Chains A and B, each alone.
Chain A
């Protein structure tokens, strides 16, 4: 493949967010001069603007011109870039982790998309190509995948395992069958409004508004702005981000597509799921809805971080998705061991729901009352086991068990079980952790 450039419109799209600022910058002094009628100064400002613009366009164009990418004969994706300081980046496609196509809002207006290619490895191990036409991007994605498949070596046995952070993936990512899950916009909006904190804040806002109107006092309005504004802002953000959420099964794992203004596509590689959480807020239970978060190791925090497996779904649909990423784990039939009744003195609301289960594959914990959550971690992915005992717990003969996993949204902790239970569970878990790694 010969070296190629990104789409010629790219510099324009990248500079677009700066245009309003530039106009404002010129408008301020410009308006003052026009009002004073100083024609020489106006000419100077216009000339500066034109020259500055020309220089900027020229430089951006040069930067664009000097940035080339291609796939070389060794099966590496390469990108040369830089005007004065040249940089050559090379990604070994045999270690391909993901190829994502992202469509940011402005780029999408002119029919362009961004391609992100990520390989396994520490640090900045990816190339982001801004921007390509949709069909070009699809062709490149297929080419990258095909190359990765061709040069994929057998996993070398001498490669040390870094806590599952660098599993050599089978880098083939082709969609299989119909979508596994689709989230209708109405359900998404409803679920966001019914989240516990959001719903509470909205009710508080309504109450405040009513009181303000009744008492004619304006002081409450500032509070209304905060209690009403924050949840509305979060609902809008989440709605835009998760609009049109769609999960497909691919040969690599699950492929997630979402977003209204800018669409994001991301693959959750089944082998890299470390832990999941099934979350059901109080007001969702009427419809039996749940949300599922996942912890995936090795994914640097980034706006397309796939920490949501599904933002809202009926329970059985969500459980089917979980079965895709954690095969053989049945969330409904976990042998939960519950906290003793005396835990009610430590956790009066949630004590009857607190529980922990260990199966040959996973450790699972239940917690919460208003928002119930079941967290599950694979034994092979648990890094260490922690026991904690606070003063109040000690006086009741209770302790908590934490299964530490890679950083992510899921915290697996069995709280306020009896000391005997925690001790037995910890020993059991440690034994299973050892065996899970050896097999």
Chain B
């Protein structure tokens, strides 16, 4: 069963498509990876599924999921380090979907927050300011917030970028528990070895779906080569897409945003 189904989905910014005509589904209770070269539309896809941007065309069908059932951890998390906020306050933001602006935070909620701190190995750091912790500790705290959100669909955009091996290993083992709890996880990753080890399904993007299915078959060399060729093609000598929302040439380079089309 699919948790997220994409129907001829095109996403982009200011009417310029970044990813095109996606057709397929992320299976419920599975760990799916989204991989592809830089600029292939991975982050855009996650933003779209999270509801942060609207489709230019096509649809995203969330089977029975409401916005409150989605946890989204973007690549640029946007946490302001100048903000007077403790890690505990940051993690408790995960309750927003359940408690909103005014709902009381119960003892049970507090226990869940404490459990989340324990799960990411940050017990004892609750009262540190966000300006007092390392990048790895902040990422652990953001994972704790995802835990507190208790979401059925979890979207992670390059969650291990700039993390050390130990932190990455800890967080990977946390993520691997989620499908067993019935949660669907979609994460953008660069490390293909990690994708092979951790994700059952993979979507290979190069502004369009190059391949989508079981990780082993998706990541075959010919697919990876095709993805690379496609992404190079967008930089130069590509055909212009005849989609309604075709991008206008940008920065004076007539090829910069042109792209090929099957």
A and B: bona fide binding partners: no
- The interface of chain B, by Cβ under 8 A from chain A, is none
